[in-house]
Amino acid sequence: MLETPIIGFIIAALVVLLIPGPGVLYILAQSVSHGYRAGLASVVGLAVGALVHVAAATAGLSAILLASATAFGLIKALGAGYLIYLGISTLLAKRPVVDAHSPLALPHHRLFVDGVLISVFNPKIALFFLAFLPQFVDPNGAAVAHQILFLGLIYVSLALLTDGAYALLAGVLRSRITPRTLQGPVLRYASGMIYLGLGVTAALTGRRN
């Protein structure tokens, strides 16, 4: 049976994943333009790239905690601040440009590789993992490396499910989804408020502790 902190992490992760961000918009664009299989190839590529960031976060955060529990607490505080920054910058950002009807159809293996590269070389993903995962780590519990890795694998697994669902849905509804829909302000505002909520909650939790 899952422990309460894990359930809380799963709920928080699903909330983040279900609000479309740049990665989801990329997947939607591929599915709308070239069909759901192209979208699924992109989904798997993004997930594989995310695993690289999970491994880096596992090694880096574990080393920080071994060096200093105070430093780890500082990382958590900075992470909460970064989540708040993400929320504010998302709310203030201009509409993303999404070319959902590109005439160029790339092979699926190329879409997979592109997804991996987009994920691996996106520093915002690394920062997100460094900000998000520590909020659910118990320094007095199991080995931090194991906790970070476990949480990271859960997040990537959930991302595969939610992103895959988006790809399938967009492939089915490709004739009805327009670039204007993907760039609508509602998705941006919802995403920004989610990040703000996570950041404020993490900051208040850290203060009580």
Structure confidence by residue, pLDDT tens digits, 117-171: 878 877 677 778 888 888 888 877 778 788 889 999 999 999 999 999 999 988 8
pTM beyond 0.75, yes or no: no
- Please give the full DSSP string across the chain, using - where no structure is assigned: ---HHHHHHHHHHHHHHHS--HHHHHHHHHHHHH-HHHHHHHHHHHHHHHHHHHHHHHHHHHHHHHH-HHHHHHHHHHHHHHHHHHHHHHHHPPPP---TT-S----HHHHHHHHHHHHHT-HHHHHHHHHHGGGG--TTSS-HHHHHHHHHHHHHHHHHHHHHHHHHHHHHTTTT--HHHHT-HHHHHHHHHHHHHHHHHHHHHHHH-
Q: Kindly report, residue by residue over 164-194, the tens digit of the pLDDT.
A: 999 998 888 776 766 565 556 665 676 677 6
Name the residue with higher pLDDT: 88 or 32. 88
* pLDDT of residue 103 exceeding 60: no
Q: Where are the domains of the chain?
A: 23-96+104-208
Q: Taking the CB of residue 127, how many other CB atoms lie within 10 A of it?
A: 18
Please give the share of the chain, as a percent, with pLDDT higher than 70: 73
**Mean of pLDDT over the chain:** 77
123 compared with 78, residue with greater pLDDT: 78
